[in-house]
Amino acid sequence: MTKKERVDLILQHFSAQQPEITTELEFGTVFQLLCAVVLSAQCTDRRVNMVTPSLFSRYPSAERMAEAEPEDIYEYISSVSYPNAKAQHLVGLARKIVADYGGEVPKDMDSLTSLPGVGRKTANVMLAVAFDKAAMPVDTHVFRVSHRLGLATGTADTPEKVERQLTRLIPASYLSRAHHWLLLHGRYVCTSRRAHCERCEIASLCPSAGKADKPKGNSRRK
């Protein structure tokens, strides 16, 4: 089986099982999604969803959050990972959005990554989820599953390299959904501690089935 044939079958499977799929983060506006994604760095979506309702109730917009100080934000997000740094990021990005973008979250990669706390992965999430653009955010789950499924080669040892390979391999019409499919598959089935091949519905398409190891390389990115 060629890699393209494997990709086509994997996409067909996920498309049939989960035709409509999106982030598990809870939000009401594009700005709130950006804040939630920043908070989710090295933190679970479940934990983020526990703190954002009260945070967004008090600071629902960039304009409101721009008026806050980091210590104000910290009170709402103290239970997430790296709360001090993330509080500074949220205030900083809110102020920059108000000052430079008229209170609206920008819609391009360069502008997004100019915001405090926003790296390439976070920017790609915004492009894919908020702005419905063909983008492939690569987090630790996508990184791991892509290697185990043989969609990324051994030379793709950074998220950026995996992103480039997946973008070439997966049709643009599937790209954003494929991010969610790979992410959730890694979160619930093909986990970092153990690949649960016995309950994986695409095990027959996986060259690592029964022998999956954690891929090498630095998969952590904002």
Domain final residue, candidates 91, 109, 130: 130
C-alpha span between 129 and 127 (Å, rounded): 6
Q: Is the pLDDT of residue 10 over 80?
A: yes
Rounded Cα–Cα distance for residues 167 and 222 (Å) = 19
Q: How confident is the model at residue 215 (pLDDT cuts 50, 70, 90)?
A: very low
> Does 217 reside within a domain?
no
178 plus 111 within the same structural domain? no
Catalytic, out of 121, 133, 211, 214 = 121
Over residues 96-124, the pLDDT tens digits come to 999 999 999 999 999 999 999 999 999 99
Known catalytic membership, residue 216:
no
Residue 211, pLDDT score:
77
Domain count for the chain, please give it. 2
Same domain, residue pair 91 and 156: no
Q: Is residue 151 a part of any domain in this protein? A: yes
Q: Rounded to whole angstroms, how far apart are CA atoms 11 and 9?
A: 5
Q: What angle do CA 171, 175, 177 make, to 5 degrees?
A: 130
Predicted TM-score (pTM) of this structure: 0.88
Domain boundary among 82, 98, 130: 130
Whether 196 and 118 share a structural domain: no
What are 13's two structure tokens? 């499977």
Tens digits of per-residue pLDDT, 171-209? Answer: 999 999 999 999 999 999 999 999 999 999 999 999 999
Alpha carbons 133 and 44: distance in angstroms, whole number:
24
Token pair listed for 90: 């949220």
Say whether both 121 and 65 belong to one domain. Answer: yes
Instruction: Please give the average per-residue pLDDT across 15-21, as a whole number.
Output: 93
Is residue 213 included in any domain, yes or no? no
Structure tokens at 11: 């996409």
| Domain region containing 168 | 3-21+136-205
Q: Based on the fold, state whether residues 13 and 45 are members of the same structural domain.
A: no
Is 121 assigned a catalytic role?
A: yes
Can you name the residues that pair with 190 across neighbouring β-strands? 195
Residue 158 lies inside a defined structural domain of this protein? yes
CATH number at residue 192: 1.10.1670.10
End position of a domain, from candidates 130, 148, 177: 130
pLDDT at residue 219 above 60?
A: no
Query: Residue 216 above 70 pLDDT?
Result: no
My answer on whether 17 and 105 are in the same domain is: no
Residue 10 exposed, middle or buried by CB count within 10 Å (0-12, 13-18, 19+): buried
Token pair belonging to 131: 């702005």
Choose, from 139, 157, 161, 216, the residue flagged as catalytic: 139
